[in-house]
Amino acid sequence: MGRFYTILIAGALGLTGLAACTDMAPHPGRATYQSYCAGCHGASGMGDGPMAEGLPVPPADLTMLKEANGGVFPTEDVMLTVHGYPGKHDTSIMPEFGPLLSGPKQIWISPKGEETMTSVALLDLADYVETLQR
């Protein structure tokens, strides 16, 4: 009887571990991406969102950013583009999302070693876009 219970308990623990692996929490930047980006860039980031057809310039294919940057994901460029800056809307159809991504901030260190107080939502969003790379 003892061996049967040992096998039963081991099996139950194995199933619990499997459930934990498949029931992972969603990426913290996913909801922000779905709210602000997917309409133009599409759920998969390929520039095929439902609003893409009506735009004068096709949205960027976000899945190729790493490849286009020599195999390195351009985190800083993504954050700068998403955040925007005053007057940017004059030269681009990409809206400025900086004001919408307010909230808690943390220090982000650029590849050059520069420290910048950055919105956690913006960091999460850039990290999520990185997960879309092909």
- The reported pLDDT for the residue numbered 2 is 52
* Local structure of 29: helix, strand or coil: coil
Q: How far is residue 83's CA from residue 29's CA, in Å, rounded to a whole number?
A: 14
Give mean pLDDT, residues 110-134.
97
Whether the predicted pLDDT of 101 surpasses 80: yes
Of 84 and 110, the structure prediction assigns the larger pLDDT to: 110
Domain assignment of residue 62, given as a range: 2-131
Residue 83 · residue 101 · CB < 8 Å: yes
Element (H, E) at 67: helix 65-68
User: Domain count of the chain?
Assistant: 1
Average pLDDT over the chain reads 85
